[in-house]
Amino acid sequence: MNRKLGITNSNKTLSVSSIDCGGSFRVRLSLTAAPDIVSNPTDIVLILDRSGSMAGSPLASLKNGADKFIDIIDEATDGSQDGQIGGGSRIGIVSFADNAVQNTQLITSVADLKNAVNGLTAGGSTNHADAFTKATQLFDPASGNSKVMVMFTYGVTTAGADPSPIAAAARAQGITIYVIGLSGNGGLDEQSLDDWASKPASAYVAITPDDAELEDLFEDLARNITKPGATGIVIRDQIDPCFRVTALSSPSKGTANLLNPNAVEWKISELGVSQSEAAVLEFTVTHTGTCSGPVPVNTSVIYSDNEGNSVTFPDPHIDVDCGVVIHPEQCPEPVDLAVDGCADSIELDAGLVGMESLGRIVQLDVTLQRVCPGKRVALAVLLSEVDLQGNEYKRGMKTITVQAHNASGCRDVTIRCIKFVLPEDLDLSGSDDAICDRRRLRARFIAHYIDNDFGCCADPVTITP
């Protein structure tokens, strides 16, 4: 799960990762914007994990990412990388392992900030509670600056108190909390990260399994923090034809409506112009098509606003489980033809054709219910035609070996494209214009397991008195 952070945070998440045929799920669109850092001076505290799990490349990537973050804020606040954070904004550094340390106060010196970051060494456990406590203490409650925490963590809490109440208290003081997580090395408690961050978590939490991506996450966050909010926002989400939008909730900001069963339009007049703001829209999508397996939920999500911000949304896929689908027969191979120049006719040897008569083709699908794993099934299909008096005439029989599936339990197995050829000279409809007439057919199905665990009893033992 990767989430992008920034002035126009954009995310698209699904309530579940898989559904059955015809099932439904919820789609959640999130968007966040914040005012320009020049017109809205901001105090930012970088909270950096230096526990033992950070040793090696994770710590190196973290330092590079934090340095880039500082450089971008430096340039954005006064127009150049002159070594000083300008415009009234400041940055502070807090690092944590067994305990947290205020490596700097809120300062403007780029050199001092980078020295604090680059001097970090890895070792010890992970105390998130003390990290939030030390970071909160850096902010001046009397300051009119906006207040932002950027927490980076690698792993779960292994020391100290529960961090959630401390993070909640910080948010209650008007502090915006972003969380960047690096998964791996024993796992990451994503629910805790969502709990600590500002809401909605989908707009304020980013998780990556690759420490090389940390530099990009810090850089994206810094660049987007320095941009202004957005006005005249229009988002159009086009849903894949395999689905339909069946319910649309009211968004937290703006208005939303259905353009058609496969398209949602969301409009927001302004977002993040005077303070950091997030907006959320949810709607229900139902599977209605024939597609199965991993299916993209949307064909496109188009964003526009008056400021010309470039915003992209993720492209989530959902697994649609329509059971086991088998295609026992392939379509015939085509013969390619070409007519050259001004020729009015063409002669071609099309090769050998199997024994098939001209006429209609009947294609049947059938679903075998609750087929147990590891067992092949023998399937017979009997097709007959019924005349006007109700008499039946045989038209064909197919026998098919349905290979065993390896699912964890019994499940339905669909057999598709069972084809029968109906020559027109056998039509029983009573019409001379048989090709356009209705022909009445009757199909019968016989199925049983091929494999079983039955074995004959051993030879009886004869006892002689």
- Which amino acid type is present at position 277? E
The pLDDT score that the predictor gives to residue 429 is 77
Residue 278 above 80 pLDDT? Answer: yes
Q: Which CATH architecture is the domain 37-225 placed in? A: 3-Layer(aba) Sandwich (3.40)
Q: How far, CA to CA in Å, does 8 sit from each of 251, 314, 352?
A: 17, 14, 63
Is residue 327 pLDDT above 60, yes or no?
A: yes
Quick: pLDDT tens for 288-319.
Answer: 988 888 999 999 999 988 877 778 888 999 99
The fraction of the chain above a pLDDT of 90, given in percent, is 48
Rounded Cα distance, 176 and 163, in Å? 16
pLDDT at 6: 34
Place of tokens 């669909």: 414
Per 3-state DSSP, the chain is made up of helix, strand and coil in percentages (nearest 5) of 20, 40, 45
Antiparallel, parallel or unpaired: β 317-321 and 377-386:
unpaired
- Please report, as a single letter, which amino acid is at residue 173: Q
The domain limits of the chain are: 24-30+229-319, 37-225, 326-332+356-449
Structure confidence by residue, pLDDT tens digits, 351-366:
776 654 467 889 999 9
Q: Is the pLDDT of residue 200 over 60?
A: yes
Residue with tokens 């083709």: 361
Residue entry with tokens 């849903």: 239
Q: 84-98, 198-212, 364-378: which has the minimum mean pLDDT?
A: 198-212
DSSP E strand boundaries for 97-200? 100-102, 146-153, 175-182
Per residue in 393-417, pLDDT (tens digit) is: 999 999 999 999 888 889 999 999 9
Q: What's the pLDDT band for 4 if we cut at 50, 70, 90?
A: very low
Q: Give me the pLDDT at residue 356, please.
A: 47
Specify the CATH class of 326-332+356-449 in words: mainly beta
Percent of residues, the chain, with pLDDT higher than 70: 89
> How many other C-beta atoms are found inside a 10 Å radius of the C-beta of residue 450?
12
Average confidence (pLDDT) over 269-290? 86
Total Cβ atoms within 10 A of residue 216: 16
In total, the chain counts a number of residues equal to 465
Burial of 243-276, coded b for 16+ CB within 10 Å and e otherwise, reads bbbeeeeebbbbebeeeeebbbebebebbbbeeb
Q: Tell whether omega for the bond before 200 is within 30 degrees of 0, i.e. cis.
A: yes
- Cβ proximity of 359 and 421 under 8 Å: yes
Phi-psi region of 106 (alpha: psi -120 to 50; beta: other; left: phi over 0): beta
Residue range 128-139, pLDDT digits in tens:
999 999 999 999
What integer is the mean pLDDT of 138-156?
89
Domains 24-30+229-319 and 326-332+356-449 share a fold: yes
Side-chain-facing half-sphere of 400: CA atoms under 13 Å? 26
Fold of 24-30+229-319: Immunoglobulin-like (2.60.40)
The residue to which tokens 């964890």 are assigned: 408
The β-bridge partners of 45 are 92, 149
Q: Give the residue among 145, 64, 36, 51 at the shortest CA–CA distance from 98.
A: 51
Pick from 34, 33, 140, 152: nearest CA to 90: 140
Supply the DSSP string of 233-298, one letter for each residue: EEEEEEEPTTEEEEEEPPPSSSEEEEEETTEEEEEEEEESSSS-EEEEEEEEEEE-SS--EEEESE
DSSP-H helix ranges across 292-395: none
- 49/54 Cα distance (integer angstroms): 7
